[in-house]
Amino acid sequence: MQPSRSEYLDLPDVRLHIRRWGKPQAPTLFLLHGWMDVSASFQFVVDALQRDWNIVAPDWRGFGNSEWLNRPYFFAEHIGDLEAIVDRYAPSGPVRLVGHSMGGILACLYAGIRPERAERVVSLEGFGIAPTTPDMAPERYQQWLGALKIPPRMHSYADRGAFARRLLHTDRFLTPERAEFLAKHLARVGDGETRGGDRRHGIIWNGDPWHKAPAPYLFRLEESMAIWKRIVCPVLWVAGRQSWVIREFDTRPGDWADRQACFADLREEWIDQADHMLHHDQPAEVARIVEAFVA
């Protein structure tokens, strides 16, 4: 297993943990994790890479070893964090961005907002979230107000073994060995207060519970599509053949093609025997596809 090292990036409102692999003098590759994930879960992909890379993988604010703010988070904050990370580790020239799920969404948005800064983008199962309609706004604001009154909480597990079994239960392609590794990084010892004032001392997910609170505003797919149309670099979409994300797209005929049409230079790859967490399920294939595209 290739060893990683930790660094920290202090921003005005948050301290971000940055995980590094590889040789600093090698070409830089940014790996961006998804929602309720952490940078360490790219370990399996990193171990399968064949070339030398200077890998920069942040924990997003409120996840992993980055600072938890214990308040609602807003998606645009991650875009600001990504720019700060890119400016710190690649202050000039275009960069290679590889993101999973939320990380893939962020990578594509950044490539459209700062097209001059993106050389290649790989989105692993990060194709934008489901569309919304204005009539959904009242319920969304009700949910937001409800979360402010009763803050979200994390489920507690007896130990890391129980947490690993939960991962295996929800991902049929995950191996026990990988689940054991992930349980060391995706979980932490809980010490927050739960409803009723009792203390939670079991094992909980390694993400601030406030990430589970709904945003007060609706996600607007049209805005993302307008941003995607400004991307000039090649973009690769990588999908798991058995992913729940793909099953959702199947319920919205035409949505997949409409989104892809926004990109000037888009390619797609499919990975068999992989669900949404394809970097856990088939890391060697993810590494092969990513490396062939970005190199």
Asked if pLDDT for residue 195 goes beyond 80, the answer is: no
**Tokens read off for 254:** 């035409």
Q: What is the pLDDT of residue 216?
A: 95
**Which architecture, in CATH terms, is 5-133+220-294?**
3-Layer(aba) Sandwich (3.40)
Return d(Cα 14, Cα 251) in angstroms, integer: 39
Residue 278 CB partners (closer than 8 Å, separation 6+): 100, 124, 125, 238, 239, 240, 243, 271, 285, 286
Identify any residues that bridge with 286 across adjacent strands, giving them in sequence order. none
Q: Which residue has the tokens 């590759």?
A: 29
The whole model's pTM is what?
A: 0.95
Whether 190 has a pLDDT exceeding 90, the answer reads no
Q: What integer pLDDT is reported at residue 61 of this predicted model?
A: 98
Q: 3-state DSSP helix/strand/coil percent for the chain, to nearest 5?
A: 40, 20, 40
**Taking residues 112-135, what's their average pLDDT?**
97
Q: What is the pLDDT of residues 242-260, one digit of tens each?
A: 999 999 999 999 999 999 9
Cα dihedral sign, 164-168-173-175: positive
Structure token digits, residue 9: 């990036």
